[in-house]
Amino acid sequence: MDQLGTTTGGPGTGRPLILRPPLLFAAAIAAGMVLHLAWPWSFTSRAVRWPIGVLLSTAGVALFVAAIRAFDAAGTPVPGNRPATAIVHSGPYRFSRNPIYLALALIHLGVAVSFGNWWLLVTLAVSVGVIATSVVRREERYLEARFGSIYSAYKSSVRRWL
């Protein structure tokens, strides 16, 4: 544990993070698929949904890779259970403070559209809500405590999501 209380859990909390964000999105996708099998709730035709869904998921993967590369270039760890060593403000972090979560949401949206599955849209909304209200807030408190005015300036110049 460092002086800010970072442990193997969420930044600065001293408590373990119960479900890591990528696993949260994966669980939400699985739940949406199970719900769809139990109570099918579909939209639009395959001819329309597959190209759009694949495009969204591909954009999500590309954004994810770009965000990870920006972290690597800045020399700061990606996992939220390790202390941040820098504020990343290059690559996709120029327009979003949370491009990794945005990427995971785009992938989830792409899967939902590809399958034409309303349940996946419901579980996406829940996932984004959980990320926004717990994970992002926790991370922002940690970054403000660790980097002070540097993070505050970044936060005021870049939107949280888009």
Q: What is the domain class of 21-157 according to CATH?
A: mainly alpha
Can you give the residue ranges of every domain in the chain? 21-157
Q: What is the pLDDT of residue 3?
A: 33
Nearest to 55 by CA among 127, 111, 129, 101: 111
Single-letter amino acid code for the residue at 36:
H
Asked if residue 55 has pLDDT above 70, the reply is yes
For residues 145 and 123, give the distance between their C-alpha atoms in angstroms, rounded to a whole number.
Answer: 32
For residues 112-133, average pLDDT: 96
